[in-house]
Amino acid sequence: MAVTEVEASLHQALRAARGTHRIVYDPLAPPMLIDHDDVYRYVASRDVRCQEGELLTLTGITSEPIWAFWREIMFSKNGDEHRRLRQIVQSAYTVPEVKEDRGEIRARALALIEAFADGAEVDLVGEFVEPIVAFGICNRAGYDVTDHARVMRWGRQATTVFVGLSPENQQETGDAFEDMFDHLDEVIARRQAHPQDKVIDRLIAAHNDGRMSYLELRAMLGNIVIGGYATTQHALIWLIWYLYHHRDVLIRIIAEPELIALAVNELLRIEPPVAATFRTAKQDLEAGGCPFKESETFMISFLSANRDERIFPEPDRFDIDRDNRRQLAFGAGPHRCLGASLARAIIEEAALALFTQRPQLEISGADSEWSPTDGFRELADLHIKL
Ligand code: HEM
């Protein structure tokens, strides 16, 4: 089915539901909040907590390497434990810190585009999006990536955890996690011996002075490397797709490059790469007009909140001039995305480089392959002709 048709039916269903309900039920998943104000309130509320591994139980995952990672990452921790870990890493991902990376991201993007042969058909995901996202993320973490495909594989396997895995898939995902642990163990050992002054070195120092355990250090590194891969990649692919289909906006951006920031924010509103998240009640409570008992889990739909017509009039229109400050693609509250500024920097610099160097690029094929899932939404494939 074409991208636009799938899009229309999904959003039609959510719109219809929002007209009469604040929560929707699916027999195969926890109930889901769909109203913008409920989503905003409960993603950040102190009455709920992030999943401490129950998500894996919920999706039937038993494989130990996957648990070993999830138990230790910041996203699975709450309260003081979460604050302790977040404080160690937070200052490295602020807007001013990340601003220093923009020149390098731009230079790498231009080099990748330079390598495209004139008139060639290019697999944009494999030859541009994956390498530039991998570069931006690993460059900030502070070590050279030589094998992008390997890092990409971890990211892809990690995202499958959200949608449930068959025993064979668990084996494959478990192997990818083991491979990631081996790699991170090597990187950490190397940097212990020859420290520099990058994010990874700051994390190792925090471990050395007792602020985090070795397993937390390794999980944190894994989290900041693979945590942003799939999401940033999907957002960049979607942005290229939207700008290609909104020539008027593209022409404005080429004339006034600073407009790219508005385009990225609007893209994140209309196509949030993380469609939904989970929260668990810390006590009996009412959410979306429904009672939940302590320890019960519900879902929170960023996808629905970001197209809630009460907040964003004509929500299906890609409009870079709208007020989209209340869009929730990066979540809100204590677990708000750590890498939001970095993701914006990568997407903005990469898209600007592509469209300023190759303004006449054409997307080839009728509609590129689209893989909707409950948790993540992606255009898996995008070929262009130069
Ligand atoms: C467009 C790209 C991205 C999107 C849409 C996105 C989205 C999100 C969302 C929605 C959350 C919060 C989930 C919740 O509260 O349940 C989150 C958390 C997180 N993100 Fe991102 N993300 C992106 C890129 C990145 C990047 C590049 C990094 C790399 C540093 C990253 C690292 C993290 C981490 C470590 C957390 C957990 C934060 C915590 O638990 O305190 N993300 N992300």
Helices (H), the chain: 3-20, 36-44, 54-58, 64-72, 79-89, 95-99, 102-114, 124, 130-141, 148-160, 167-193, 199-208, 214-226, 229-245, 247-255, 260-270, 302-305, 340-357
pLDDT value at position 95?
96
Mean pLDDT of the chain: 88
pTM of the model: 0.93
- Which domains are seen in the chain, by residue range? 3-385 (1.10.630.10)
Mean pLDDT of 32-58: 90
Q: Whose CA is nearest to atom 18 of ligand 1?
A: 337
Number of the ligand 1 atom closest to the C-alpha atom of 75: 40
Number of the ligand 1 atom closest to the C-alpha atom of 133: 27
Is 62 or 317 the better-scoring residue by pLDDT?
Answer: 317
Closest to 44 measured CA to CA, from 333, 336, 335: 333
Distance CA 329, CA 43 (A): 11
Distance CA 217, CA 206 (A): 8
Q: What is the DSSP letter of 74?
A: G
Number of the ligand 1 atom closest to the C-alpha atom of 332: 15
Q: What is the DSSP letter of 126?
A: I
| Pocket, ligand 1, Cβ cutoff 6 A | 43, 74-75, 86, 93, 137, 223-224, 227-228, 231-232, 235, 273-274, 277, 329-331, 335, 337-339, 342-343
Whole-number Å distance, alpha carbon 62 to ligand 1 midpoint, is 24
Q: Yes or no: say if 268 and 3 are a contact pair by the CB < 8 Å rule.
A: no
Distance CA 12, CA 83 (A): 39
Whole-number Å distance, alpha carbon 22 to ligand 1 midpoint, is 25
- How far apart, in Å, are the Cα atoms of 274 and each of 45, 233, 366? 19, 12, 26
Whole-number Å distance, alpha carbon 192 to ligand 1 midpoint, is 27
Whole-number Å distance, alpha carbon 232 to ligand 1 midpoint, is 9
Q: Whose CA is nearest to atom 40 of ligand 1?
A: 75
Whole-number Å distance, alpha carbon 356 to ligand 1 midpoint, is 28
Tokens 């519900």 belong to: 298
pLDDT value at position 8?
64
For residue 365, give every residue at least 6 positions away whose Cβ sits within 8 Å of its Cβ, in sequence order, or none: 383
Which pLDDT band holds residue 373 (cuts at 50, 70, 90)?
Answer: very low
Mean pLDDT of 203-216: 96
Mean pLDDT of 21-44: 92
Whole-number Å distance, alpha carbon 280 to ligand 1 midpoint, is 18
Mean pLDDT of 117-123: 83
Reported as a single tens digit per residue, the pLDDT across 52-107 is 877 777 777 777 888 888 889 999 999 999 999 999 999 999 999 999 999 999 99
Q: Exposed e or buried b for every residue in 228-254, given b needs 16+ CB within 10 A?
A: bbbbbbbbbbbbbbbbeebeebbebbe
Which pLDDT band holds residue 1 (cuts at 50, 70, 90)?
Answer: very low
HSE-up (13 A, CA, CB side) for residue 315:
25
Three-state DSSP at 297 gives strand
pLDDT value at position 374?
43
